[in-house]
């Protein structure tokens, strides 16, 4: 259990209560408790008095006890049952919060997207106090937009779904091994379904157990080779499970990982040698079926190096196979340079983040909490960051296997000023500059802000340069090629934010940056220990842009990092 989970549980409870039209004081108590925990600089393990904190009452305390003892909250589970499931998708409509949805439900009996659409079309919504004609039109537009997005889920949502399915599969003893396949394995930004390959000797038992443990909305097909279902996990998602033997595993995994175009190219290569590739193996000219211990052996059989799933795109990756050895891999990564602690809006203390990075085998890392402009994230004042610097320096003395650098993620203010003065920036080892506000400014204004940051001698890197959230918002629309030119001119790094919510910069821009010889840092922007794992998916995404090892500064040895970035 960690603090972030408790905070998120409180927020979810508040939201669900609001949806049900609960007493605002009750709702407020959960929001307030979430806020109290957010602002407390300590991590959960450092709090022995969490139930006595000002702002934690009887109701909120009971939830904490539940979470600590059982890992889940009974109250939240009850609410999840109580809230009509049709209301949840309404939360995805911009401008509709819990309160407004409750109002519509009370006044018009709205309980789903369909009933909301109908009520907008018959102009009933505009008659509800607080909802005018304009709002009604806007709602209708947003509902249509949601409709067009249907079918594809963003990678971060797929990631959560995959994780929870994997957790269930680990509990099924008849599964010998399994792997996710499909577009998620290829680190695509969006997927329309999830695919798994399962090795088992008892497919029917596994099938029945999967049907038991997964939240099944509908079973589309079920046999000894395959189970196809629609799962009800926040959104509806199609899931396919293929049951194979150990010998078939490698070719099945390759086949169902795709992409379609990649598979077409591989089949052409096989055909030219008189062979046939299927999910069961490679059929040779004399009709025998050859199987492989791994995908690597499968590729080697066709004189190809292992092609990482993320590179399996339009088939042309096969022509570029000799470049693969030079691309960045997870094993090359020596440090993570963007993460938050309880000093701002992270869930863990500095020491806990350091220990987690040591476990990953990193040789160096940078702590980068928010600055004071970002009040919602408990951003640091100059005084607090000076205290943090001395704490980090002291902590650094304790370790000889990892170097902890003092950094910041500084806000670029709406008027183009920076949140800290140069004399303070000078005291820091590493300065990230980011935009978190006024996304709706003109491109010109946004570019002025970015220029102010990137031309400042103490700024090392621009984080999540476009501000996009995949599947949710486009960000603030900067002129990225111009930004890349500036990065080149001022010798600055640009970020590939590896959090799957962001993947920012996007592939097309990473390619332009590498061509311009601009260096990239792949960062997790972790707000909790488990998010440090996003380095893996971040690297996969970088591979999609064919980023070479030397382009990515996280692969540089500590000495080079100090020489060329810290002391620059
Ligand atoms: Zn940020
Ligand atoms: Zn951040």
From the CA of 436, which ligand is nearest? 1
Q: Cβ(230)–Cβ(238) under 8 Å?
A: yes
DSSP 8-state symbol, 379: P
Residues within 5 A (CB) of ion ligand 2: 409, 525
Quick: pLDDT tens for 134-157. Answer: 889 989 888 887 765 446 899 999
Going from the Cα of 239 to the center of ligand 2, the distance in angstroms, rounded, reads 33
Q: Which of 411, 342, 386, 396 is nearest to 366 (CA)?
A: 396
Task: Please tell me the predicted confidence (pLDDT) of residue 215.
Answer: 86
Going from the Cα of 500 to the center of ligand 2, the distance in angstroms, rounded, reads 13
Going from the Cα of 73 to the center of ligand 2, the distance in angstroms, rounded, reads 29
Going from the Cα of 519 to the center of ligand 2, the distance in angstroms, rounded, reads 19
Going from the Cα of 464 to the center of ligand 1, the distance in angstroms, rounded, reads 7
Omega before residue 476 within 30° of 0, cis: no
Going from the Cα of 474 to the center of ligand 2, the distance in angstroms, rounded, reads 18
Going from the Cα of 525 to the center of ligand 2, the distance in angstroms, rounded, reads 5
Going from the Cα of 433 to the center of ligand 1, the distance in angstroms, rounded, reads 8
Going from the Cα of 517 to the center of ligand 2, the distance in angstroms, rounded, reads 25
H-run or E-run covering 431 = strand 430-434
Q: Taking the CB of residue 120, how many other CB atoms lie within 10 A of it?
A: 22
Going from the Cα of 31 to the center of ligand 1, the distance in angstroms, rounded, reads 23
Going from the Cα of 10 to the center of ligand 2, the distance in angstroms, rounded, reads 22
Supply 92's token pair: 């995805």
Q: What domains, with CATH codes, occur in the chain?
A: 3-149 (1.10.150.110), 153-244 (3.30.460.10), 250-320 (3.30.210.10), 330-566 (3.20.20.140)
Going from the Cα of 435 to the center of ligand 1, the distance in angstroms, rounded, reads 7
Q: Taking the CB of residue 214, how many other CB atoms lie within 10 A of it?
A: 19
Going from the Cα of 340 to the center of ligand 2, the distance in angstroms, rounded, reads 6
Task: Please tell me the predicted confidence (pLDDT) of residue 300.
Answer: 98
Q: Cβ(47)–Cβ(36) under 8 Å?
A: no
Going from the Cα of 357 to the center of ligand 1, the distance in angstroms, rounded, reads 20
Radius of gyration for the chain, computed over Cα atoms and rounded to the nearest angstrom: 26
Q: Strand pairing of 430-434 and 403-411? A: parallel
From the CA of 463, which ligand is nearest? 1
Task: Please tell me the predicted confidence (pLDDT) of residue 472.
Answer: 85
SS3 322: helix
From the CA of 337, which ligand is nearest? 2
Going from the Cα of 559 to the center of ligand 2, the distance in angstroms, rounded, reads 25
From the CA of 340, which ligand is nearest? 2
Going from the Cα of 342 to the center of ligand 1, the distance in angstroms, rounded, reads 15
Task: Please tell me the predicted confidence (pLDDT) of residue 48.
Answer: 82
Going from the Cα of 496 to the center of ligand 2, the distance in angstroms, rounded, reads 12
Going from the Cα of 463 to the center of ligand 1, the distance in angstroms, rounded, reads 7
Distance CA 2, CA 490 (A): 40
Distance CA 444, CA 441 (A): 8
Going from the Cα of 465 to the center of ligand 1, the distance in angstroms, rounded, reads 9
SS3 110: coil
Going from the Cα of 358 to the center of ligand 2, the distance in angstroms, rounded, reads 20
Residues within 5 A (CB) of ion ligand 1: 434
Q: Which of 412, 413, 467, 474 is nearest to 94 (CA)?
A: 474
- pLDDT tens across the length of the chain (568 residues): 777 778 888 989 999 999 998 999 999 999 999 999 988 888 888 888 889 888 999 999 999 999 989 888 999 999 988 988 888 888 878 778 888 999 999 999 998 888 999 999 999 999 999 898 988 998 988 888 776 544 689 999 999 999 999 999 999 999 999 999 999 999 999 999 999 999 999 999 999 999 988 988 888 888 899 999 988 886 789 999 999 999 999 999 999 999 999 999 999 999 999 999 999 999 999 999 999 999 999 999 999 999 999 999 999 999 999 999 999 999 999 999 999 999 999 999 999 999 999 999 999 999 999 999 999 899 999 999 999 999 999 999 999 999 999 999 999 999 999 999 999 999 999 999 999 999 999 999 999 999 999 999 999 999 999 999 998 888 999 999 999 999 999 999 999 999 999 999 999 999 999 999 999 999 999 999 999 999 999 999 999 999 999 999 999 999 999 999 998 6
Quick: pLDDT tens for 180-222. Answer: 999 999 999 999 999 999 999 999 999 999 998 898 888 888 8
Going from the Cα of 432 to the center of ligand 2, the distance in angstroms, rounded, reads 9
Task: Please tell me the predicted confidence (pLDDT) of residue 495.
Answer: 98
Going from the Cα of 258 to the center of ligand 1, the distance in angstroms, rounded, reads 33
Q: Which of 249, 241, 242, 258 is nearest to 280 (CA)?
A: 249
Omega before residue 308 within 30° of 0, cis: no
Going from the Cα of 290 to the center of ligand 2, the distance in angstroms, rounded, reads 49
Going from the Cα of 504 to the center of ligand 1, the distance in angstroms, rounded, reads 11
Q: Taking the CB of residue 307, how many other CB atoms lie within 10 A of it?
A: 20
Task: Please tell me the predicted confidence (pLDDT) of residue 568.
Answer: 67
H-run or E-run covering 389 = helix 382-398
Task: Please tell me the predicted confidence (pLDDT) of residue 148.
Answer: 54
Going from the Cα of 396 to the center of ligand 1, the distance in angstroms, rounded, reads 25
From the CA of 526, which ligand is nearest? 2
Going from the Cα of 53 to the center of ligand 1, the distance in angstroms, rounded, reads 29
Going from the Cα of 370 to the center of ligand 2, the distance in angstroms, rounded, reads 7
Quick: pLDDT tens for 248-304. Answer: 999 999 999 999 999 999 999 999 999 999 999 999 999 999 999 999 999 999 999
H-run or E-run covering 9 = helix 3-19
Distance CA 529, CA 356 (A): 7
Distance CA 516, CA 63 (A): 53
């Amino acid at each position: 259990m960690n603090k972030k989970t408790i905070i998120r549980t409180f927020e979810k409870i508040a939201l669900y209560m609001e949806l049900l039209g609960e007493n605002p004081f009750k709702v407020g108590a959960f929001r307030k408790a979430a806020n109290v925990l957010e602002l407390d600089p300590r991590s959960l393990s450092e709090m022995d008095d969490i139930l006595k904190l000002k702002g934690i009452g009887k109701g909120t305390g009971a939830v904490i006890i539940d979470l600590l003892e059982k890992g889940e909250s009974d109250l939240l589970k009850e609410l999840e049952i109580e809230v009509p499931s049709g209301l949840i998708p309404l939360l995805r409509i911009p401008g509709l919060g819990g309160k407004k949805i409750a109002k519509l439900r009370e006044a018009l009996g709205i309980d789903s997207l369909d009933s909301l659409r109908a009520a907008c079309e018959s102009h009933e919504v505009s008659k509800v106090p607080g909802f005018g004609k304009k709002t009604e039109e806007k709602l209708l537009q947003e509902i249509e937009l949601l409709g067009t997005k249907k079918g594809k889920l963003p990678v971060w949502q797929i990631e959560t779904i995959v994780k929870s399915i994997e957790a269930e599969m680990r509990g099924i003893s008849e599964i010998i091994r399994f792997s996710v396949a499909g577009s998620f394995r290829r680190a695509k930004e969006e997927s329309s379904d999830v695919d798994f390959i399962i090795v088992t000797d008892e497919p029917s038992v596994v099938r029945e157990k999967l049907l038991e443990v997964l939240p099944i909305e509908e079973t589309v097909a079920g046999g000894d080779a395959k189970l196809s279902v629609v799962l009800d996990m926040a959104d509806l998602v199609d899931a396919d499970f293929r049951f194979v033997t150990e010998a078939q595993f490698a070719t099945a995994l390759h086949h169902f990982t795709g992409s379609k175009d990649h598979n077409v190219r591989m089949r052409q290569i096989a055909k030219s040698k008189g062979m046939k590739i299927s999910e069961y193996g490679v059929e040779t000219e004399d009709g025998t079926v050859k199987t492989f211990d791994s995908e690597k052996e499968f590729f080697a059989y066709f004189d190809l190096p292992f092609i990482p799933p993320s590179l399996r795109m339009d088939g042309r990756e096969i022509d570029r196979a000799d470049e693969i050895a030079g691309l960045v891999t997870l094993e090359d990564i020596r440090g993570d340079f963007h993460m938050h602690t309880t000093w701002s809006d992270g869930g863990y203390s500095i020491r806990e983040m350091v220990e987690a990075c040591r476990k990953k085998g990193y040789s160096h890392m940078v702590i980068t909490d928010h600055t004071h402009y970002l009040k919602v994230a408990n951003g640091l004042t100059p005084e607090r960051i000076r205290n943090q610097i001395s704490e980090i320096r002291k902590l650094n003395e304790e370790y000889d296997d990892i170097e902890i650098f003092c950094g910041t993620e500084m806000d670029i203010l709406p008027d183009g000023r920076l949140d800290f003065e140069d004399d303070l920036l000078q005291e820091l080892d590493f300065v990230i500059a980011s935009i978190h506000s006024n996304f709706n400014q003109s491109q010109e204004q946004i570019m002025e802000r970015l220029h102010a940051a990137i031309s400042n001698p103490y700024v090392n890197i621009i984080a999540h340069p476009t501000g996009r959230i995949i599947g949710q918002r486009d960000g603030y629309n900067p002129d990225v090629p111009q930004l890349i030119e500036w990065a080149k001119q001022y010798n600055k790094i640009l970020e590939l934010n590896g959090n799957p919510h962001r993947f920012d910069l996007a592939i097309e821009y990473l390619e332009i940056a590498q061509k311009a010889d601009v260096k990239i840092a792949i960062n997790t922007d972790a707000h909790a220990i488990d998010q440090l794992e996003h380095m893996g998916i971040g690297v996969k995404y970088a591979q999609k842009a064919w980023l070479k090892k030397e382009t990515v500064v996280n692969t540089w040895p500590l000495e080079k990092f100090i020489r060329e970035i810290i002391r620059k």
